[in-house]
Amino acid sequence: MDKIVSRKSFGFDDLAVGMTGEYCRILTERDIEGFAEVSGDVNPIHLDEEYAKASIFGDRISHGILTAGYISATFGAEFPGPGWIYVNQSLRFKAPVRIGDQVDTQVTVSKLVPEKKFVEFKTVCKVGESVVLDGEATLMAPKLAG
């Protein structure tokens, strides 16, 4: 399995099944607060320590869609890179992400659709060895100059 870490944009013809890209980020309180402000999702499970302590999780957790945003960051900044367009994303939330957790995201090419210049990916976010989010995504290749 090839591991890709690049800010270069790959074209459709550069890709093969099994190629991967990765992105890592440590979740901060500032991330959660900023996401709540931008999204309007002010659920107290994310923002209120006392409320969260009484919850099933026992403390504050990240917005699930904030965690899913790390998949988008992988696609746009790492692999396959700038210019690719999201067509579809399925998500399965498996476990909470907490402040201070390092989220390791990996996207892997699972299928090429040449007639549409679409690429299907398996997507996964982990904290340590635990999968916190997985799913599938479809992206459309950019028309690259040259």
User: Total structural domains in the chain?
Assistant: 1
Helix, strand, coil percentages (3-state) for the chain, rounded to 5, are 25, 35, 40
Residue 145 is assigned to a structural domain of this protein:
no
The confidence band for 8, taking pLDDT boundaries of 50, 70 and 90, is confident
Q: What is this structure's pTM?
A: 0.90
Backbone angles phi, psi at 70, to 5 degrees: -70, -25
Residue 40 is part of which domain span?
Answer: 3-140
* CA 62 from centre of chain: 13
User: Which pLDDT tens digit goes with each residue over 26-37?
Assistant: 999 999 999 999
CATH number for position 117: 3.10.129.10
d(CA 23, CA 29): 19
Residue 68 is assigned to a structural domain of this protein:
yes
Residue 146 is assigned to a structural domain of this protein:
no
Tokens 């500032």 belong to which residue?
30
Residue 42 is assigned to a structural domain of this protein:
yes
